[in-house]
Amino acid sequence: MQCELDYTNERRWEGSYLKKKCMEIGVEDEYNLYQSRLRSYYTGVYILLHWIVILVHSLFLLATCEETHLIYIDIFAYVLGSVLITAVMWINFEEELVIRRVCVMYVTSVITVLILVIIDIITNMYHYHKHDWVTGSFYDTYIILTTYMFLPIPHILPPLALGSTVSCLYVCYYFYYVAALFRNDFSNARNFNKMWAEVSHHISLNMLGVFFRISREIVVRSSFLDRHQYVMEDISLRNARAQEKIFLHSILPQQIAQPIQDDIRNRIAMAEKHRDVHIVSMARDRLMSIQTHPDVSILYADIVNYTQLTTTLTVKHLVTLLHNLYARFDKAASHFTVQRIKFLGDCYYCVAGLTVPDPDHAKCCVDLGLCMINQIQQVGISQNLDIDIRVGVHSGSLFAGVLGAAKLQYDIWGTDVTIANRLEATGMAGHIHLSARTLNSMTDHSYTILPGTVAATEDPYLMKYKIVTFLIAATTTTDEISEYESDEVETLSLSLQLSAKSHMSVGTYTVELHNEFKQMPVGPMGSPYGACFSSPARLYAQVQHLAGLDHLHQFDCDRNGLSTYHLQYICFC
């Protein structure tokens, strides 16, 4: 019979597995640096704690001892020992020195323990020989526990060796104490049991210390792996949002894209909040992102002989041709800061001054039109095709926005949009057909201006609005757009931006991971050490904020492994 139990999660509590995992993902060095900071903090806590214990013990002796003049030497020894311990342990605050010379931690810890043991035992022996006082040890349990919990000794075996040595010294002293107390009478079974209890007591203390060391290392390593996963997911999320932003802004202006993103987040939040309630009006009440732009220039372009090309070229050749042309047009539009709206078959239209107000929007459109004519003529010559383009440009106002509920569509509307369309339709191939308003908007230009077409003077719509038109013949533009083949589309600016984001994530991950580990707390959450790592919910809230999903509140501790117990254990133990 095969066992169906899964012990994968339990492996997260194996020290060897966690150490192997830290080495695999490359955080072992960061872990060692953090342990150095942690030991430095514990050293400070130990010094403070030791002074408190010494002062309390001294006051207790002064308050309870009848012959206080006999214990002044004890208090003097305790205070002198505390001063020496503080001076010795202070070296561990020099992190660079400690990192370069690990032996400093061992030497200072051994000296500290020896000072405490010597003072504790020597004072007792002094009183025995001087005043015939038989006293037991006071600091044995304290020394052993602080050896494992606070002294800056790396790993587990060194503190075990030091703790065992201290236990042996105190057990020997206890034998001496019993011998002195009962005048070398070991025959009493009760005395033998006391000695055995003392030995068991010290064995238990060392076992408890080893357990504490192992547990603390497991918790710290587990927290490192959790933090590593958090940083990876955080960076991946931000990269995904950056790519989403690039894609969205490639088809929508920023002032339109942002309200739509906010509206989508609000709808997701509403759906999560009313998970069990069917919201019928959600699609109907969606935000209408329509904006007015009073001063822009509109460019319409239409490929000449497109219908003939559809009958003479194969589908693959035709699609490749259009793809090449529109990719060139998009690159040129980006160069001249003109927002492409869309292309429909052989029609391509865009607007200047839409995303950012630009007083030279008319000239931008005209320059783009000249560049488009140049580009399509180059393609026609290189591929031996009878192909050209008509371009119409008009300046005025329009409405721009997104329509639709399930499938969003960005477009422009208005009288001036229709006028620009009619200018293109009544224009001349290889020329820009523009209105008088557009021409007057270009205060500085060196174009050769020709009269408008006869078709424009006879167009009912243009006649209705009394549109006077002009022509600009195509010449070699001063702002040439570099050529590229249709199979090199991956080198476009959009792809370059996405690729840069992807490659940059590795370096960003390394830097941010280092910063996260550097900010991990080494003290209680109320102290300056713990202010940056208060709770797992705070970490998840950061991810929610980045994702724009602040309404989500459930935190998967099993998945991320960041439990409040972990953090409190590290900070307070």
Q: What is the pLDDT of residues 1-21, one digit of tens each?
A: 455 555 556 566 677 778 788
Task: Region of 292 please: left (phi>0), alpha (psi -120 to 50) or beta.
Answer: beta
Instruction: Kindly report the average pLDDT of the chain as a whole number.
Output: 79
Are 62 and 75 contacting, i.e. CB atoms less than 8 angstroms apart? yes
Tokens of 434: 């523009």
Residue 472: its H or E element: strand 469-473
For 22-26, 88-92, 302-306, 351-355, which range has the lowest pLDDT when averaged over its residues? Answer: 22-26
Q: Which residue has the higher pLDDT, 5 or 90?
A: 90
Q: Rounded CA gap, 433 and 449, in Å?
A: 10
pLDDT interval class at 161 (50, 70, 90): very high
Mean pLDDT value across residues 500-509? 54
- Statement: residue 145 has pLDDT above 50: yes
Mean pLDDT value across residues 412-438? 95
* 63-72, 108-117, 318-327, 435-444, range with greatest mean pLDDT: 108-117
- Statement: residue 404 has pLDDT above 70: yes
Q: Which residue has the higher pLDDT, 483 or 328?
A: 328
- Write the single-letter amino acid at 461: Y
Adjacent-strand bridge partners of 472: 432, 449
- How many residues does this entry show for the chain? 573
For 44-53, 216-225, 493-502, 549-558, which range has the lowest pLDDT when averaged over its residues? Answer: 549-558
Are 345 and 402 contacting, i.e. CB atoms less than 8 angstroms apart? no
SS (H, E, C) 70-90: HCHHHHHHHHHHHHHHHHHHH
Distance of CA 422 to the CA centre of its chain: 51
Q: Which residue has the tokens 């997701």?
A: 268
Per-residue CA distances from 284 to 261, 271, 280, 290, 403 (Å): 17, 14, 8, 15, 12
pLDDT interval class at 181 (50, 70, 90): low
- Statement: residue 167 has pLDDT above 80: yes
DSSP state of 539: H
DSSP state of 412: E
Q: Rounded CA gap, 152 and 129, in Å?
A: 36
Q: Rounded CA gap, 313 and 257, in Å?
A: 38
pLDDT interval class at 249 (50, 70, 90): confident
340: Cα within 13 Å, side-chain hemisphere: 24
311 contacts: CB under 8 Å, gap ≥ 6:
none
pLDDT interval class at 182 (50, 70, 90): low
Mean pLDDT value across residues 275-282? 52
Mean pLDDT value across residues 82-86? 95
Q: Rounded CA gap, 7 and 269, in Å?
A: 37
Q: Cβ atoms within 10 A of the Cβ of 331, count?
A: 18
Q: Rounded CA gap, 247 and 124, in Å?
A: 79
Tokens of 266: 């609000």
pTM: 0.58
- pLDDT at residue number 218: 87
pLDDT interval class at 419 (50, 70, 90): very high
Mean pLDDT value across residues 267-284? 62
pLDDT in tens, 56-82: 999 998 888 877 788 888 899 999 999
Mean pLDDT value across residues 243-268? 75
- pLDDT at residue number 115: 95
Are 300 and 341 contacting, i.e. CB atoms less than 8 angstroms apart? no
Max CA distance (Å), the chain: 132
pLDDT interval class at 137 (50, 70, 90): confident
Mean pLDDT value across residues 259-266? 75
Mean pLDDT value across residues 499-523? 64
- pLDDT at residue number 129: 76
Please provide the CATH number assigned to the domain covering 288-483: 3.30.70.1230
Q: Rounded CA gap, 11 and 15, in Å?
A: 9
- pLDDT at residue number 417: 96
Which residues in the chain are classed under CATH 3.30.70.1230? Answer: 288-483
